[in-house]
Structure 1
Amino acid sequence: MSFFDPLPSLGKPRVWDVGALCRAIADSLEARFNPVTVRGEITGFSRAGSGHCYFSIKDAAGQLRCAMFRRAAVAMDFTPRDGELVEVRGKLGVYEQRGDLQLIVESLQRAGQGALFEQFLRVKAQLESEGLFDAARKRALPVMPRGIGVVTSLGAAALHDVVTALRRRVPHIPVLIAPSIVQGGEAPASIAQALQQLYDLAARKGTHGVPVIDVILLVRGGGSMEDLWAFNDERVARAIVQSPVPLISGVGHETDFTIADFCADLRAPTPTAAAELVAQPRQAWLDGLEAMQARIQDALLRQVDLQAQRLDAAAHRLGRPSQQMAQQRLHLSQLQQRARHGLLMKMQRQTQNYQGLKADLVQRTQRRLQQQGQGLQQLQVRVELLNPQRVLERGYSVLTTQSGQVITSTKQAPVGTPLKAVLADGSLDVSVTQPKLL
């Protein structure tokens, strides 16, 4: 029952205490209006440290103060912003300390969100039944893109975030931007047209047959369901599934989902995250290349050591140094040239994209080859010492028959046998006169 009597007293007018009058008005509002749902535009929104929210809703004819306590605020699935049209449900009351009319908000949602969400579900169900969301048609992202296409508004913060992330992580990869309207009635057609421009580029080949772009980012910053509605449009969805290269959708915030997310090969929670998915840091690749360089160098050094051991074994097996040494010198020279050539060719293939590392690796390898060459020269000196010619120069000679057969026993040369004595500077014809046994 209300304590406020709107009819005038027949006698002396009643004198109200301020607090009593405020309570009477509050009781009357409770009985007449509550609960109440109001549509209006948010203004002056703030959230206190306690978690309570304070704002006003207004239209062209009036304004109403609102308070939303923490227990109701935690149930909101979005952050209200000034200027946003909302529907508020709650109870009218009077804040007695100031005598202000206020609405205690129990729930708050964007105006028209329910109808839009129903439409979203209808479009989603239709496209899903046609197979546009099938996981089988999703493609893996390229490990190292040769070119990145971006569809977004030129004035959007999302473009700045994406370009900043790509410049920081992969400044060497070209980025091609197809500008588009991303909000409003013209946005779906504009997005589809921008995507087609990138599809045409993806079909072209650049230098050495490399694709101009091999991945596409479709990005936009956060906003209300109305702001993101273009990405729920059927035209955009069908354009996305026509992409000849993997396409990443990075629309809105992490909690936002659009039809574009389901059609894309991969969904990123934010535009920056979309850029990071296709841009592994350059340092990670340099570290991998350095590890690969170390493995190649170790393998080549092992091969050089193996060849050196084979050369040592060949030197020990030499029986006729004069002829065989020439062959071994030629073989050693060929091995040295092949090792140097093979080393340089492998290093060029492995480091063709990293010219700085290539120079360092070739320089290290050349120093190693020089060391090996010095070792080979030392082997040649050692082999040269085994040359019979040097033995002959010390006063020895080799006896052979006239046909060239080497005499190693007195039994091979009876008395009177004509022989030839090979000396350091020539040969002498001799004859056996009296053999002497040791």
Structure 2
Amino acid sequence: MKNFTTSASQETAFSVSQLNRQIQQLLEASLPWILVEGEISNLAKPGSGHWYFSLKDDKAQIRCAMFKGKNSAVRFRPKDGDMVRLRARVTFYGPRGDCQLSVESMESAGEGALQQAFERLKTSLQLEGLFDAKHKKPLPTKPERVAIITSPIGAAVRDMIIAFRRRFPLTELTILPSLVQGQDAAKNILRQLQRADDSGHFDAIVLGRGGGSLEDLWSFNDEALARAVFHAKTPIVSAVGHETDFTITDFVADVRAATPTAAAELLSPDRNQLLRQIEQQEKQLVRRMSRILEQGQQQLDFMIKRIRHPKERIEQQQTQLDQLKRRLQQSMQRKVSEQQTQKANLAHRLERNSPTRRIVQDRQKLIDIDTRLARALSNTLANKQTAFARVIEKLNLVSPLNTLSRGYAIASKDKQVIRSIDDVEKGDAIKIRVQNGEINCTVKTTKAIS
């Protein structure tokens, strides 16, 4: 990077492109990411989806660009005159010598404080248990009367009415008009909610409005309203904003709907599905009635066939009596045979378990056990004798006495074995152990053997 100098002899002339490139490097290195607040002006939204605008205050302005991939995450619709807070990177476009901000994120200048207040209230109510699933009331399957608390002129109320009329026109809708934005909106909504809940007239209550910024939806983050929703006896559906919008009433309500239309669909059965169910039930009823009529006809035919002449009935009963008599005789004979068999089995078991027979059997068992025990003792003694002989043989192999029997002797002095001529001196008394005794000797001379 070239540097400026005040020395005329070393002064270097920059080209415009070199100068702009050095300015770009200095700016982008010293200001990588910044937070800046100001007012939007000259906002342009071309078909490419990018946003171009100026950010200004009362003394200066700077151009800004927010590309499509970034501005899709903005939660409100900015317009000229809005005060915003930007997270951006300072960029410098060398060919034109322009400095601008490349915007990463945008929020309303007031949203930072509102978001903090939202998180504090959310955490507080959550710790109290107002969001717990165990407190949620189930929605009715087919509500007959539904109260809708919303703006009477907004798109949300039209969407809900259309959805109810399309799916289940029999639902009785009551629109309780209320402010849904502004200073008095939360009190207005709370008053209408208490009125609807205290009446006991409605099967469900919908709190709804269209989407907007956090500031636009702030009336639905009111603590008093949240506690009223929690303590309401009537099931509450919160349908505030779009799918990505969340308010405190969404967490406290019994059910959160992503949109007002979704709330209407949750509370209204599908008319076409109900018609299909009715048709199916009608077919089942027809089949069931046909089956009952068929069974009744079969029973009637059976009863007609059973109507006979009395003589025929007597003959039939006489035949049945004869059959019962034969069956009784056969049963008695079978019972006697079974008793005789059982008696024979008992006699056989008694004979088999006779004490005399048991004594003979046990005596024979004792004789067998005694024989097996004697055989086992004999085998064990023989094995032990063989093992003992092997041990004696091994001991003899390493015994010094065995070595003495082959003509060797062991010399010792003061009960210490003599291993070298250095262990004795002339005149020492020593003992020599041979196979059959000891020899007491006196050392006269010693001689080394190489």
Query: If the length of structure 2 is used for normalisation, what is the TM-score?
Result: 0.59
Match of 1:124 in 2: 122
Residue type of the partner of 1:113? Answer: E
Q: What's the CA shift for 1:69?
A: 5.1
- Aligned equivalent of 2:300: 311
Write out per-residue CA displacement over residues 297-337 of structure 1, whole angstroms, 9 at most, x where no aligned residue. Answer: 111122222222233334444569xxxxxxxxxxxxxxxxx
Aligned position for 1:242: 231
- Give the gaps of 5 or more residues in structure 1: 205-212, 321-438
Match of 1:284 in 2: 273
Query: Displacement of 1:139 after TM fit?
Result: 1.3
Residues 139, 36 of structure 1: alpha-carbon distance in 2 compared, 3 angstrom cutoff = closer
**Equivalent in the alignment of 1:230:** 219
Provide closer, same or farther for how the CA distance between residues 227 and 102 of structure 1 changes in structure 2, counting only shifts above 3 A: same
Alignment CA distance shift 1:309-1:93 (3 Å): closer
> What number of residue pairs does the alignment pair up?
306
In the TM superposition, what is the alpha-carbon distance from 1:65 to its structure 2 partner? 1.4
Partner Cα distance (1:105, 1:22) in 2: 21
Which one has a bigger Cα radius of gyration? Answer: 2
Q: What are the Cα deviations for residues 389-417 of structure 1, in whole angstroms up to 9, with x where unaligned?
A: xxxxxxxxxxxxxxxxxxxxxxxxxxxxx
Aligned residue among 88, 105, 114 for 1:90: 88
How far off is 1:61 after superposition? 5.2
Deviation, structure 1 residue 129: 2.7
Match of 1:78 among 75, 87, 98: 75
Task: Say which SS state the counterpart of residue 241 (structure 1) adopts.
Answer: helix
Q: 2:252 aligns with which of 247, 260, 263?
A: 263
Match of 1:149 in 2: 147
- 2:235 & 2:143 partners in 1: Cα distance? 11
Name the counterpart of 1:46: 45
Preserved CA contact (<8 Å) 2:65 2:100: yes
SS in 2 for 1:217: strand
The CA RMSD measured in Å over matched residues stands at: 3.4
Which of the two has greater helix per residue? 2
Matched, 1:108 2:97: no
Does residue 220 of the first structure (1) align with residue 209 of the second (2)?
A: yes
d(CA) in 2 for partners of 1:141 and 1:128?
22
Q: Does the 8 A contact of 1:41 with 1:59 survive in 2?
A: yes
Question: Is 1:294–2:274 an aligned residue pair?
Answer: no
Shift of 1:176: 0.5
Alpha-carbon shift at residue 109 of structure 1 (Å): 3.2
Given candidates 165, 183, 186, the residue that maps to 2:184 is 186
Distance in 1, Cα, partners of 2:196 & 2:251: 20
1:286 alignment partner AA: L
Alpha-carbon distance in 2 for matches of 1:34, 1:220: 40
In percent, how many aligned pairs have the same letter? 43
CA distance in 2: counterparts of 1:279 and 1:289, whole angstroms: 16
Q: Tell me which residue corresponds to 2:379.
A: none
Deviation, 1:55, is 3.1
Cα deviation for residue 291 of structure 1 reads 1.2
- Structure 2 residue identity aligned to 1:46: K
Report the CA distance between 1:31 and its aligned residue. Answer: 8.1
Determine if contact 1:35/1:92 at 8 Å carries over to the other structure: yes
Q: In the alignment, is the contact (CA less than 8 A) between 1:124 and 1:259 conserved in 2?
A: yes
In 2, distance between residues paired with 1:46 and 1:152?
Answer: 31
**Post-superposition offset of 1:242:** 2.7
Unaligned ranges ≥5, structure 2: 310-450
Q: 2:162 aligns with which of 161, 164, 167?
A: 164
Judging changes above 3 Å, is the alpha-carbon distance between structure 1 residues 286 and 113 closer, same or farther for their aligned structure 2 residues? same
Deviates more, 1:21-30 or 1:155-164: 21-30
CA shift in 2, pair 1:69/1:302, >3 Å: closer
CA distance in 1, matches of 2:2, 2:212: 44
